[in-house]
Amino acid sequence: MIDVRALRENPEPARASQRARGADETLVDQIIEADARRRSALQEFEQLRATQKDVSKSVGKASPEERPAVLAKAKELAEQVKAAEARSNEAGAEADRLARLLPNLILDGVPTGGEEDFVVLRHEGGDPRDFAAEGFEPQDHLALGEGLGAIDVKRGAKVSGSRFYYLTGVGARLELAFMTMAMDQAVATGFTPMMTPTLVTPAVMGGTGFLNEHSDEIYYLPADDLYLTGTSEVALAGYHADEILDLSGGAKRYLGWSTCYRREAGSAGKDTRGIIRVHQFNKVEMFSFCRPEDAEEEHARFIGWEEEMLRKVELPYRVIDTAAGDLGTSAARKFDCEAWLPTQERWMEVTSTSNCTTFQARRLGIRERREDGQMYPVATLNGTLATTRWIVAILENHQQADGSVRVPEALRPYLGGLEVLTPLA
């Protein structure tokens, strides 16, 4: 949630943010007007309640002749106070509803536009391989995975339907290898590892900003009034909900390892082959609670840690600055790392890191008491450190002519020293 007081004092940054996102900037004025109605209704209620208290106190002091009129006045005021309280609550609820519709304000420098308007910041990891020069046509990750006995989508579909799969044999080992490597790296840099819940309450899901225009992507269990999470960011953000943190010693950093669930609504026909876009996958996610003035530096650290992992698995990748219209509700800025996908000759997102500034913390009631004794909302950041989709990039980029796959050197200790994944006989 945004700071309504700041919005009231200077609405132009919010209007500019909405324009950059391609969203409705009149929402800003609706919020300001609703907030004015809320404050007016609250003032009316408090004035009437104060008058009611004064009249009630005067009953005992009134003469027998005056008392009936005073009691009648007190009764009339009680009804007025009750009605004013209802109007105040209604105005407050509407102001809160509208305020929660406004996405986070983007930071200076975020590109304007939609999904295709990102800015490429740099290319890393060397040039993509020239398979033609090597004398063979590359296989896609599913053909490689089936040959290695690593991926089984046919039985996944038989058991659960489309966009489900099994990781089998070396496929299961490979995922566990780079996920464990990610956890080791994060622990070495001060993160606390956590296995998080994958079911959360509406308050936590809404507090992180996911119950908005993308809510159709989320699995909901009505019998339990719980949501399946599409990222451990949700559970990690909710970990300190309604708490007061001590950040005097620096950021609190957590690493969530969880299974994630996404309905992939609206993705019919997109990435239907293999395991690029699926309903269930695993992910290791970085999360940080820090002071707002430290958030941009923390964001730079997050992208650095993501790139360190991509160097370890020896992938050619690029870093993009995501355009405003492609940001999630909570993100004020987002950087993605995209690995090269040889068989499709395109870049595929493999990591993402977002600076959510104080947006989630305000909604979840997460604050810090500073040295001056005052309470301030904290900033939250998240970032992918490894996920199932990496198997796609690793298999395709490190394949060899005979269908085997070279194991990146940094991964070998996590696979028992295995240097090459060989096809089944």
In tens, the pLDDT along 4-45 reads: 889 999 999 999 999 999 999 999 999 999 999 999 999 999
Same domain, 21 and 62: yes
Q: Taking the complete model, does pTM exceed 0.75, yes or no?
A: yes
Q: What is the mean pLDDT of residues 307-334?
A: 97
Indicate if 97 belongs to the active site.
no
Evaluate if residue 266 carries a pLDDT over 70: no
Indicate if 277 belongs to the active site.
yes
Indicate if 349 belongs to the active site.
yes
Q: Is residue 92 part of a domain?
A: yes
Q: What would you report as the CA-atom Rg of the chain, rounded to the nearest whole angstrom?
A: 27
Same domain, 399 and 327: yes
**Longest CA pairwise span in the chain (Å):** 109
Question: Which residues lie below 8 Å from residue 261, measured CB to CB, with a gap of 6+?
Answer: 198, 219, 228, 229, 230, 279, 280
Same domain, 172 and 318: yes
Catalytically annotated residue among 330, 352, 367, 368: 352
Same domain, 263 and 397: yes
Question: Average pLDDT over the chain, rounded to whole?
Answer: 94
User: What percent of the chain is predicted at pLDDT more than 70?
Assistant: 99
Q: What is the mean pLDDT of residues 55-76?
A: 82
Q: Is residue 111 part of a domain?
A: no
Question: How do strand 375-377 and strand 367-369 relate by DSSP bridges?
Answer: antiparallel
Residue 297, marked binder: no
Q: Which domain holds residue 65?
A: 4-101
Catalytically annotated residue among 163, 362, 367, 389: 389
pLDDT at 64: 83
Return the minimum-mean-pLDDT range out of 69-73, 156-160, 187-191.
69-73
Residue 160, marked binder: no
Q: Which of 101, 130, 158 is the last residue of a domain?
A: 101
Same domain, 401 and 268: yes
- How far is the C-alpha of 197 from the C-alpha of 258, rounded, in Å? 8
Evaluate if residue 268 carries a pLDDT over 80: no
Return the minimum-mean-pLDDT range out of 29-38, 50-59, 404-413.
50-59
* pLDDT one-digit tens code per residue, 270-317: 778 999 999 999 999 999 999 999 999 999 999 999 999 999 999 999
Tokens of 161: 């339907």
Evaluate if residue 58 carries a pLDDT over 90: no
Indicate if 253 belongs to the active site.
no
User: Where does the pLDDT of residue 371 fall: very low under 50, low under 70, confident under 90, or very high at 90 and above?
Assistant: confident
Catalytically annotated residue among 37, 56, 349, 404: 349
Residue 189, marked binder: no
pLDDT at 267: 66
pLDDT at 213: 66
Q: What is the mean pLDDT of residues 389-407?
A: 98
Number of domains forming the structure of the chain: 2
Q: Is residue 59 part of a domain?
A: yes
Q: Bigger pLDDT: 186 or 7? A: 186
Catalytically annotated residue among 87, 277, 311, 318: 277
Evaluate if residue 249 carries a pLDDT over 70: yes
Tokens of 223: 């019998």
Indicate if 19 belongs to the active site.
no
Contact by Cβ (8 Å): 376, 360: no
Residue 258, marked binder: no
CATH of the domain at 297: 3.30.930.10
Residue 308, marked binder: no
> Mapping DSSP to helix (H, G, I), strand (E, B) and coil, where does residue 280 land?
strand
CATH of the domain at 19: 1.10.287.40
Q: Which of 42, 67, 101 is the last residue of a domain?
A: 101
Catalytically annotated residue among 21, 163, 262, 367: 262
Residue 129, marked binder: no
Q: Is residue 107 part of a domain?
A: no
